[in-house]
Structure 1
Amino acid sequence: MSKIDFKTAVHQEEAYLRLVHPTPDDIPGCISLFDTYLSCNVIRNQVKSLYRYGERPACAPKLEDFKFCMSIKSLHPEEQRDAWILRRAEWWATRRLARSSEDIWDIRKEPLVSFPKPITEEQMSGRPIK
């Protein structure tokens, strides 16, 4: 289980997203989000998801992203960016704190000692290793 709380995770994600999307022009537009939603419903993506995961893709969150974009359309561009970043930060924080296959792994603070093993001169020369 994660050792951080939701609020801390949201702040971390927000800081990261502000670096990745420094200006209002860097956030996706409503047309782009609508295209993403439509492409989710294309038969090719439906079949691919059925094959890979055994179920249809979840397109509803993509539609919700588009609706959210339309709801903030009347805000100043900087306010739109802030609202979009907060929404994405909350989404990423929720995803980070939810259970996943990564729950069994601990993140290392330092690399392992002597790993990988250094390559020897004998290995470099191409001679067989005993």
Structure 2
Amino acid sequence: MGWLWKTPSKEGESQTPPPASSGLPDSGLPSAHTAHASTPSSSAQADHPPTLTREEQADAEWKKLIASLEGDISQKSHDKRRSTPETPSLDTSSSNPHAPPNSIAPDSLYPDTMSCRSAFDYAFFCQSFGGQFVNVYRYGELRSCSEHWSNFWLCMKTRTWGDERRKEAIRDHYRKKAIKYKTGPSSEDVWDVRTESIGECFNGDFAALEREVKAAEEAAAAAAASQKAAAASATAEASSASS
């Protein structure tokens, strides 16, 4: 009956050799089939990590947030170093941020830069309960936050503009704001403007007045000293009379 396993195999079929027996008795070790069967269960356990508590999830999310912020900061610093030229500039005004502007035109009095982050912080704080509480404390009433939001949206709108166009738009925005507040109410609405001179209350010989004040102070000091001496002599006479 040997012809049953000696028949030629078909083309394309691979013959798998039978596993070689070691000749040792079964020692209870898991077979290859058992190990292969246990592999899916271990992979299933790996696919389902242990459940984290609420505190552990919060810590993990916080670490991810810190890592993302650190990555953004490092990327910005790297881009800034790449964009900064290695050779120093000959223009000293650009290296000193506090240097006065080169132009003396009236438009140079208005700033030409704006921080979108600061504008959003101001608008968000004004919209909050704390911001309105500050408005009530300072002005006695609730205030509108439209001005802060207009600053923020202007900054966001001009982010993609060119440098010159962006500077001109921001400068024009601050110019309109200055015109709005400089032409508004002033202290003259409370105090009447003086239309005539106050007289001669500040006229006179100030040197002579100073001498008179000094002489009066010296006379007062001499009178106090004489009174003190008289009191001391009276005390001495009283003590001698009693003895």
Q: Do both share a fold (TM > 0.5)?
A: yes
Map of 2:108 onto structure 1 = 18
Establish whether residue 81 from structure 1 lines up as the match of residue 171 from structure 2: no
The equivalent of 1:35 in structure 2 is 121
SS at match of 1:98: coil
1:52-90: CA deviations, max 9, x gaps? 333212211100111111111121123211111111111
SS at match of 2:217: coil
The 1:82–1:52 alpha-carbon spacing in structure 2 relative to 1, beyond 3 Å, is same
- Indicate the residue corresponding to 2:140 in structure 1: 54
Amino acid in structure 1 at the alignment position of 2:182: R
Moved more, 88-97 or 39-48: 39-48
Match of 2:151 in 1: 65
What fraction of aligned residue pairs are identical, expressed as a percent? 24
Pairing 1:94-113 to 2, within 5 Å after superposition: 94-103=180-189
TM-score, length basis structure 1: 0.59
Partner of 2:217: 127
Larger relative contact order, structure 1 or 2 (CA cutoff 8 Å, min sep 6):
1
Structure 1: state its 5+ residue gaps: 1-13, 107-113
Shift of 1:45: 2.5
How many angstroms apart in 1 are the aligned matches of 2:114 and 2:188?
A: 29
Q: Quickly say closer, same or farther: Cα 1:77–1:105, change in 2 above 3 A.
A: farther
**C-alpha distance in 2 between matches for 1:92 and 1:123:** 51
Query: Which amino acid in structure 2 is aligned with residue 98 of structure 1?
Result: G
- Say if 2:110 and 2:174, in contact at 8 Å, map to a contact too: no
**Equivalenced residues, count:** 106
The residue that corresponds to 1:5 in the other structure is none
Letter in 2 for 1:101: S
- Specify the code of the residue in structure 1 equivalent to 2:169: A
Give the secondary-structure state (helix, strand or coil) at the position aligned to 1:127: helix
Cα RMSD (Å) of the superposition?
A: 3.7
Which protein has the larger Cα radius of gyration, Structure 1 or Structure 2?
Answer: 2
TM value normalised by structure 2: 0.35
Secondary structure of 2:142's counterpart equals: coil
Amino acid paired to 1:99:
P
Counterpart contact for 2:110–2:171, Cα < 8 Å: no
